[in-house]
Structure 1
Amino acid sequence: MSHPNAFLGPRGRLALAKCVVDDGWSLRRAAERFQVSVATAVRWARRYRELGGNGMEDLPSRPVRSPRRTPARRERRIIALRLNRRWGPARIGYLLGIHPSTVHKVLSRYRLARLAWLDRATGRVIRRYEHDKPGDLVHVDIKKLGRIPDGGGHRVTGRATGNRNKTGTDANRRPGYAYLHNAVDDHSRFAYTEILTDEKKETAAAFWERAHAAFNAAGITVRRVLTDNGSCYRSHTFKDALGPGVKHKRTRPYRPQTNGKVERFNRTMLDEWAYAQPYASETERVAAFPAWLHHYSHTRGHTSLKGQTPASRVTNLRG
């Protein structure tokens, strides 16, 4: 598209065409006056005779016929597979026998939402939200994580050796599970986590009291807490720990996406700490956790914050 104020933009083309058609100038004289070729003068004069002043705009570059374009019936099949099964271009292309890039062009042509924007269960576009201030909402959740036996687990030593390390441990000291109680601020993603031995109501209530104190020390005034419908969070003990100044909200049953920020924190924690390197024992992995948690909140750039750290969004945390 040409600039409207360009020398041979729509207004300049119209003046050139009027000189030839209305004023009777020769094509060579008009071309010399407007510093264009004779062929250009012929084109705009012919366009003016056929379409008038409206013909001075650039025509679309799309061809009149596209014999190699994907048939409409196949396009409808591509769209139906995307909407009904939520498949990507590769799977749709393999099923229909066409290249994934062709499927991608069809999906882009009809402006269908990306799979990353959709809820896989319902196919609806995910509603993303973020509260305006730190403490307006804190996501709380528990992540159950298998402990590492002394000598290393099967992820490092292999299935056979890992099982021997696990069964060879004293019966009173079997690896079992660790319960990571997590609290993540919605606005800043500032996180507080403790590795505890169970998920009972007394444990969850005591964790929240310590987490609340940690958030207050960081300058975050908690106003609302969001949890799932676990029995520990539905107890009166946890309600008493929250106190009258904190409002408690629970997610809809079988809808973990509502508590998505802490769920995403759980995945990051597993990728960057729990399974990031081979640990010889649970003690070694637990010892590495405080440094990682500090790195997450203070020095690690967060993609949803456009590279900022969670601490940079907390008032007065950096002094």
Structure 2
Amino acid sequence: MSHRNARLTVFGRRLLVERVGSGRPVAHVAAEMGISRATAHKGVRRWRTEGDAGLADRSSRPRTTPHRTPAAVEARVCELRRSRKLGPARIGPILDLPASTVHRILVRHGLHRLAWLDRPTGEPVRRYERDRPGELVHVDIKKLGNIPDGGGWRAVGRTAGDRNRQATTDQRRSSTPVIGYSYIHSAVDDHSRLAYSEVLADERQDTAAGFWQRANTFFAAHGITVERVLTDNGACYKSRLFTQTLASAGITHKKIRPYRPQTNGKVERFNRTLLDEWAYLRPYTSNDERTAALADLLHTYNHHRCHTALAGKPPISRVNNAAGQYT
């Protein structure tokens, strides 16, 4: 394979062949190009035998590797990695292999990073991505505990936090109590990762249906026509109202296989981003303060935050590229 100091590239080999083909001696051409006669003859010979295909780079991998670790041993290394999640330093002594050899085996089989493995099964994660925005939108709900007025224990400590919690409950007992849970409904486009979220009071069918109508309006405002929606098997998503809400807009409803949240992984990963970069980013003094901060996070996520799956660009860039508005 070519490297940065290579004397010959595909273009260089073609130039070599053209000069030799014009009738010039191979030795003279080799001297001009700073290569040996043997290398020049090899390039000409490959071109005469294979044509233009013979000018392409070739792998430097040997045809045979007689000292390679036996396949049965490699299978045992992979089995220990999948079943017990052990690293090279742990697997090596078990099988009487150097840790470096174990690492090369894991790299060869794509098992050298635990982040690439599905934790329950130990199998490599198979990732997919739809071809265009709107082809599939992931929808899910994340439940968070409410924050009492004055701050919870994370902000003011256990004693004061418990006091604030009791005072807030007593103060609002006649109305809607703040102590309980908030439900973050989120929708993430599979192709662009464009996200929309709302903090709502429950996860009932009418709430989920209303959220989707507003989310669909959000995607439409960005030029995205939603074709399919993927959800888990929560009661609100299995309801007839939610399915009819999607059907009325010409959207197909898909549900994941039970106990298989990895299928809905893009919105599950977005839920973790919400926790790390919004909900638990700093202590909040009230539930309203935390809710108000969500809008800033969504704007940052969609317009400025780099995404590893998007070559370091924010989701809005892929939406614009799909619409032909290159930025």
TM-score by length of 1: 0.72
Residue of structure 1 equivalent to 2:274: 269
Q: Which of residues 196, 201, 205 in structure 1 aligns to 2:200?
A: 196
Residue of structure 1 equivalent to 2:164: 165
Structure 1: distance between partners of 2:216 and 2:69: 58
Structure 2: distance between partners of 1:70 and 1:271: 42
Counterparts of 1:87-106 in structure 2, within 5 Å, are 87-89=86-88, 92=91, 103-106=102-105
Larger radius of gyration: 1
Q: Which is worse superposed, 71-80 or 294-303?
A: 71-80
Q: Which of residues 280, 284, 288 in structure 2 aligns to 1:283?
A: 288
Is the aligned partner of 1:304 residue 2:309? yes
Superposed CA RMSD: 3.6
Query: Unaligned regions of 5+ residues in structure 1, if any?
Result: 14-57
Paired AA for residue 310 in structure 1: P
Partners of 1:204 and 1:232 within 8 A in 2: yes
Structure 1: distance between partners of 2:204 and 2:112: 42
Q: Which is worse superposed, 289-298 or 148-157?
A: 148-157
Query: Unaligned regions of 5+ residues in structure 2, if any?
Result: 14-29, 43-59
Distance change in 2, residues 1:76/1:241 (3 Å): closer
Identity fraction in percent = 57
Structure 1: distance between partners of 2:81 and 2:301: 36
Structure 2: distance between partners of 1:110 and 1:139: 30
Is the aligned partner of 1:186 residue 2:190? yes
Secondary structure of 1:169's partner? helix
Distance change in 2, residues 1:317/1:158 (3 Å): farther
Secondary structure of 2:183's partner? strand
Partners of 2:103 and 2:112 within 8 A in 1: no
Distance change in 2, residues 1:110/1:231 (3 Å): closer
Instruction: Please list the CA deviations of residues 193-247 of structure 1 after superposition, one character each: whole Å capped at 9, or x if unmatched.
Output: 1110000001001111111111111110001000000110111110121124100
Structure 1: distance between partners of 2:89 and 2:200: 43
Residue of structure 1 equivalent to 2:243: 239
Paired AA for residue 254 in structure 1: Y
Structure 1: distance between partners of 2:142 and 2:201: 11
TM-score by length of 2: 0.70
Q: Which of residues 25, 36, 43 in structure 2 aligns to 1:7?
A: 36
Secondary structure of 1:233's partner? helix
Counterparts of 1:1-150 in structure 2, within 5 Å, are 6-7=35-36, 9=38, 78-89=77-88, 92=91, 103-108=102-107, 112=111, 114-150=113-149
Query: Aligned-pair distance for 1:109?
Result: 6.1
